[in-house]
Structure formats: C-alpha cells, structure tokens
Amino acid sequence: MLAALGAKFRELTARKVPEPSYPPLPEVGESAESNVPGVYLLGEIAGVPLIKLGLNQGVEIAEKLAKELGPPRAEDPALLDLVIVGAGSSGLGAAARAHELGMRYVVLEGERIATIVINMYKGKVLFAEPVGVPNRSSLWFEECTREELLDRWRKQVAEKGLHVQEHEKVTDVQRSGEHFKVTSTRGEYRARRVLLALGKSGNPRKAGVPGEKEHAAKIHHVLSDPSEHEGKRIFIYGGGDVAAEAALALSKNNKVTMVTIDKALTFPKKRNVDALLAEKAAGRLELHLGTSLVKIDAGSMTYRTADGQETTIPNDLVFEMIGAELPLGFFKKVGIKLEGTWDLKRWLVLAATFLGAYSLYALKKFPHLPFCWPFNHVSKEGYDAVLQPIFKAAFAPFSWMFSERAFADILDDRGFQQGYLYSLLYTVVMLVFGIQAFRRWSNIARDNTYQKWRYVSLISFQVGFFFIANVLAVQALTVKYAWRAWGLYQPWPLFFNTFDWWDPDPDATGKIIFWSFVGFGLFLTFVAIPYASLRHGKRFCTWICGCGGLAETLGDRWRHNSAKGKRSRSWEFQGALVLAAAALVTVVVVGAYQTSGDNPWWLAYSYTVDFWLVGVIPIALYPFFGGKVWCRYWCPLAAWNQILARWYGKLEIKSNEKCISCTMCSRHCQVGVDVMAFAKNQQPFDNRNSGCIQCGICIDVCPMGVLEFNVRGKRLEVVGDAAAKV
C-alpha cells in the first residue's frame, strides 16, 4: 500500500520531460501575428504542417496585409511593405501573392530555396495533402517527387521575378518608430511588416560532446541519398522517426549502430519501431536504448549505456538526428515569447481574471458567508438598490407574463434575482462565443456537420433551460420551487442541491414537484447517462452540459493551452474523489439532516466544490490552461460518466496509417489526451485508455484525415452526424 502511494506521489510530482506531441512553439494568435505587433509567424514554427497548407497560409497573410496596409508609400520608395524571412512553402506563398498584389517585399533566406525539401531523401514522394483543400497559390504543387518540386519552384521563382535572396541570414528585427529595421548578414532593410517563415531544419540540435566541432566533416544531420553510402561503419544518434528511417535505409548496405537516450522507442511510429526491432533481431542493426553519446573521434565513436559502461567502436560517418531547435536566441532578441511563458504581464492577467471570477461568484452568493467575503461589508439595502434596477431591466422581456402579485414575489426573492442575472450572463456569453466557435469550426472541419450540430446542441440546451428555469418554471411552480428545474439539465451530482432544503411537511404541490424533479434527476444519473455511455461515451460533456458548454464556447479560443503531458494526466483521479465526496455528503444531508442544507457537511462541499472548483478557479484559468479544468479534474458527473464509459462504452476514435506526427491533434485537445501517440501507432483510443469527451476536434484539425469515430463492432456510417447509425 505504501509503495503504491509512493509511486503515485512520484508520478504526480515528476519533472516534466519532452514528449513527441508537445513541441515548444512561439506564441501566435489566430491571425498568425506574434506577441510583437506587426511580426507574423508562418509555417513550421507556427505549427502549420504540410506544403500546401504553408502555401495557402502565405497567400492568406499577404492578402490580409495588402488590404490592411494599402498601396506602397510613394514618398518613401526604400520602405518595404514586407520583409519575408525564409523561402519555404509559406514564405514563397506569401512572396508570390505579394508580387501579384504589387506590394514591395523581399524574401531573405539563410540557406537555399525550400531547404526543408532539399534535406529530404532522394526520390521522396510528396503527397498533395490535404486532398480536399485546393492550392490557393500560383506556385505549382501536386503529388510529385522531391526533385520535381525543387525544379518547378526554382523555375517559377525565376519566371515570376520573385525577389528572393538566398544565403542571407537575418540576425535581428527591431521596431524603429512606425516601421521595423531588419538586419541581415548583408545589410539593413526597413519594412512595415515582417513575416517570419522560418523552418527548423536549419537549426539541428547538437549533442555538445567532445570532438563534435573538430570532426564536423564526418557529421551529418540529414540523409539525402542512402545509395551514396555503402560498406561504411555508420553511427546514428537519435530516437525519432528521422533517425529510425535513416537507420533502416542505411542498414541494408552498411554496418549501422543506432543509439538513443530514450529508454523506449516512444517517438517513432509503430511501423518504424517494428521494422527497427526486426532489423535488430536479424542482426543487421545494433540498437541501444537508454544510451548517450560520449565523444567523437576521427575513426571511432564512444557511447555510454544506462549502467555507466562506455564502449568505443570504429566509425566512418555520424548521423546526428536528435531533432531541430527553435531559434530561441533570435526570438529573444526580437521579443517573441514561447507559449506558456510566465512573465509579469501573464501573472497580472491571471490576477485580474481571478479577481473578476471571484467577484462575480461572491456577488452571486451575497449575503451568505463565507462565499461573499468581502462584499459582506456592503449593506443589504445598498446591494438591493443596485441589484433590483439591473434585474428589472434584464427581466423586462418576461415581466408581462406575470401578475403583479407574482412579480412582487420575484422582487422579494434576492436569490432568484441573483441567479437569473448570473444565468442570463452565462447564456449570453455561451451564445455569443458559441456562434463564433460554430463559425470557426464550420470553416476548419473537414466534415463540419458534426461540429455544427454539436454547437447547435450546446447553445440550444443552455438557451432552452435558461428560459425553462427562469420563466416557465417560475410561472408554473412559483419562485419558491422554480430553481429545482435546473436539475432537469444538470443531474446529480453536478446539480448537488437536488435533494436539499426540503420541508418535512410540504404541501401537495411541493410533494409532486419534489418527487418529479428528484425522480427525473435519478433517472438521468442512473438510467439515461449509463445508457448513453454505451455508444456515446462522454458526449454529454460536449453536447449537453452547461459547464462543458462554456468551456467549448468561451474557452474554445484557448483550447491549445490545456495542460498537456503525462504528469498533467496523472492528476485526473481527482474527479473520482469529488464523486465519492458528493455521494457521502448526499447521504449525510438526506439521512442525518433530513435534507437541510444548513449543516457543516453541505457548507464544506458547497464552498469547496460549487464555489471554488466549479466557478472561480476554472473560469480564472481559461486563458492559461483552456476551458476544461473543472470538467477534466473535478467534475463528479464527468467522473461518473468516465467510469461507465470505461466499463462498457463502445465509442472510440480510430486511425489509419497516414499520420505525419504534426502534433495538431494533441495540441487542440482540451482534455489533454495525447491523440498523436495513439494515431502514429494506429491504436484506437476511448474511455478505457483516455479521458476523451468525443468532441471530435482532433478529427477536424488533422490535415491528413487520419482519425474517425468508430463504435467497436460496427463502424459509424456517418462520422459527422450525432445521430449516426451504428
């Protein structure tokens, strides 16, 4: 028992280590603008994979800036509209469109045009993915070989007269008044905007061992043509797909030793792992895991295994393939921040969002302590003098539906007024940002039917139950009982007060209302949701639930900020603890206190969970860790749904063999599922091995169409239809 607890503690507090799905990226907005106004990030460093998408992004940015900047400044002919740094697909796409639009621009490339393509191996076939996305650039691109693309692009650059200057590295970008001063190895340029279309291929990571500089001539970072090497003693240092594919290609005609510091082959795709192990078993490849490079000599290499033993082997060539690095020194000089950088501004924004969320919930709970501190120092009369005019204005569209007596009862109930204004604000926010998210994913999704219906469902449930609970229920049940209608939308244990505050000798109407709502709530929790879990997993969280709805609407813009990695996922057990606490407190409140909520058990749960964990903390953290903090870590209903779906749920997401490890799926998952780890290994994932809520965003952001919904035993006939036949 102690050993298990110790292991869990070490898992929860383990140091974060690099994972394939979560590479560091610079901070970039929806418009591709960095945190430095006027400096845009394009292509690989902005997380945009694939040649066609890079070309299209370049076109879109050029068109946007042409419209924004207007015609070139006639009075200052030396002032450029754009300096484009990098001549990859996104840089060339921007240059070609800027040229067509008559903009003043120059492309500065530190190496050669399309360096990333040059570094691919000879004869590599480039697929024109995504198939359903047209190429918006005038630069040619269809399925072709590496050589054909390079030949076509060089001819087009010359024919179009694009202003591309190769072997000119940019060393600094700084604002100078209204413009930017761009410094390169050949001179300086002034520009109104700067596009950084930098790939990472020009910044290979180095091992930093003795002999690396002295014997640089024998060290390579890319493999262009395996046939150039035969009968050589080759050492490959790295544990990713690039290293694996190089080892497989070279082991046919050379003596190859592959070494990686990784204790397991977690970075390569499954097919590459299987092939490596097969080559090792056949004796054609030496493979050493958990092993580090020690030094490089003229005719030998030395490596150290996990047990500390050093081995020196003869060597002719070294392929150092341990990834590429962002130009962090350059970014720091320019002022570009990486995602998740905690500087003073970020801490101040966190403090502001925390105070805003706390104040909202504290005012909603006025005058009850400890919830409303420090607003408890405000007089009730003063509070009501502000509250009632706001409420009357906000309730005006519905006030005509009530008699004078009924409306007077409403004005006497501060709790209803607070709840109404809060739920109105909540509904308006979901509606406004839900429409934005609807439009966003309608444009992004490969098959947008699923996302359209999902957002229509979320918004409709919220708007519908706002009207039901705040208008129809008040009219039908009186303000005394109307609040219980929320239990129809948020079943126990999410709506914890379903069983609370019941008069031991209620009138007949009260009895009917109580047993109707309690009965329906129990039906939802123990019949409807368990039934839905079978073929819909945790879709309740992302199709119906109001808490999940706010995360999917307001929180959608920050979904890429969700906590990622093994350590973050290890904390997800907390939801089960909150579920157990909810069950215990329910039993105590109903049994020991005859449903009275005025007891220490209810107060402790309500203050800890309903106030802090549902409201204040998650809302404050939206811009920093995405919208699913509550849903993922603390929601007892999500935990209950997870238990059911893990037990017997059949809904999963499966993948084909086309994964390119672009990381887009894992990046956009709001609940931190490492989707790419499953996809690159063609392993389906569901609620048995993940906290997936089946929102389908990973399916839509995948540029290769790798992922799809599936019901084990029978494939979903229509992926985009919530009511798919199964």
List pLDDT tens digits, range 639-649. Answer: 999 999 999 99
The pLDDT assigned to 503 comes to: 62
Cβ-count burial of 376 within 10 angstroms (0-12 exposed, 13-18 middle, 19+ buried)?
Answer: middle
* Rounded-to-integer distance, Cα 108 and Cα 116, Å: 15
Residues 6+ apart with CB under 8 A from 287: 247, 258, 276, 277, 279, 280
Model confidence at 2: pLDDT above 80: no
Strands 651-655 and 707-711: antiparallel
User: What is the b/e burial string over 393-422, where b = at least 16 CB atoms within 10 angstroms of the residue's CB?
Assistant: ebbeebeeebeeeebebbbebbebbbbbbb
From 518, 427, 413, select the one nearest 474 (Cα to Cα).
413
The pLDDT assigned to 645 comes to: 95
Q: What is the DSSP letter of 332?
A: H
Model confidence at 723: pLDDT above 70: no
CB 529 within 8 A of CB 644: yes
pLDDT band at 459 (very low <50, low <70, confident <90, very high): very high
As a whole number, mean pLDDT of residues 230-255 equals: 93
Of the candidate ranges 200-209, 286-295, 701-710, the one whose mean pLDDT is the lowest: 200-209
List pLDDT tens digits, range 309-342. Answer: 999 999 999 999 998 888 888 999 999 999 888 9
From 368, 379, 369, 359, select the one nearest 422 (Cα to Cα).
359
Of the candidate ranges 189-203, 286-300, 672-686, the one whose mean pLDDT is the lowest: 189-203
As a whole number, mean pLDDT of residues 419-447 equals: 93
Structure tokens given for 90: 């996104």
Of the candidate ranges 17-31, 284-298, 672-686, the one whose mean pLDDT is the lowest: 17-31
Model confidence at 473: pLDDT above 80: yes
Q: Would you call 68 helix, strand, or coil by DSSP?
A: helix
The pLDDT assigned to 121 comes to: 82
Strands 179-184 and 188-196: antiparallel
The pLDDT assigned to 515 comes to: 65
The pLDDT assigned to 509 comes to: 61
CB 702 within 8 A of CB 664: yes
Same fold, 39-196 and 216-320: yes
Q: How far is CA 239 from the centre of its chain?
A: 25
* Rounded-to-integer distance, Cα 678 and Cα 105, Å: 43
CATH architecture of 39-196: 3-Layer(bba) Sandwich (3.50)
The pLDDT assigned to 202 comes to: 61
pLDDT band at 444 (very low <50, low <70, confident <90, very high): confident
The pLDDT assigned to 175 comes to: 93
Cβ-count burial of 350 within 10 angstroms (0-12 exposed, 13-18 middle, 19+ buried)?
Answer: middle
φ, ψ for residue 167, nearest 5 deg: 55, 35
CATH number belonging to the domain at 216-320, selected among 3.30.930.10, 3.50.50.60, 3.40.50.300, 3.90.550.10 = 3.50.50.60
Model confidence at 511: pLDDT above 70: no
Q: Which residue has the higher pLDDT, 131 or 689?
A: 689
Q: Would you call 105 helix, strand, or coil by DSSP?
A: strand
Listed in sequence order, the DSSP H helices in 412-545 are 414-444, 449-467, 473-482, 508-523, 529-536, 540-543
pLDDT band at 7 (very low <50, low <70, confident <90, very high): confident
pLDDT band at 236 (very low <50, low <70, confident <90, very high): very high
Q: Which residue has the higher pLDDT, 651 or 48?
A: 651
From 683, 699, 689, select the one nearest 572 (Cα to Cα).
689
Q: Which residue has the higher pLDDT, 428 or 271?
A: 428
The pLDDT assigned to 227 comes to: 87
Q: Which residues pair with 303 in a beta bridge?
A: 293, 311
Structure tokens given for 8: 């869990």
Q: What are the residue boundaries of the structural domains of the chain, listed by start?
A: 39-196, 216-320, 344-711
As a whole number, mean pLDDT of residues 89-114 equals: 95
The pLDDT assigned to 725 comes to: 35
List pLDDT tens digits, range 685-710. Answer: 999 999 999 999 999 999 999 999 99
As a whole number, mean pLDDT of residues 40-46 equals: 89
Torsion of CA 264, 265, 270, 272, to 10 degrees: -150
From 323, 189, 337, select the one nearest 261 (Cα to Cα).
323
Cβ-count burial of 666 within 10 angstroms (0-12 exposed, 13-18 middle, 19+ buried)?
Answer: buried
Torsion of CA 280, 285, 286, 290, to 10 degrees: -70
As a whole number, mean pLDDT of residues 468-472 equals: 91
CB 678 within 8 A of CB 684: yes
Listed in sequence order, the DSSP H helices in 592-635 are 600-605, 617-625, 629-633
List pLDDT tens digits, range 381-396. Answer: 999 999 999 999 999 9
CB 28 within 8 A of CB 34: yes
pLDDT band at 198 (very low <50, low <70, confident <90, very high): confident
| Averaged pLDDT of the chain | 90
Calculate what percentage of the chain has a pLDDT beyond 70.
95
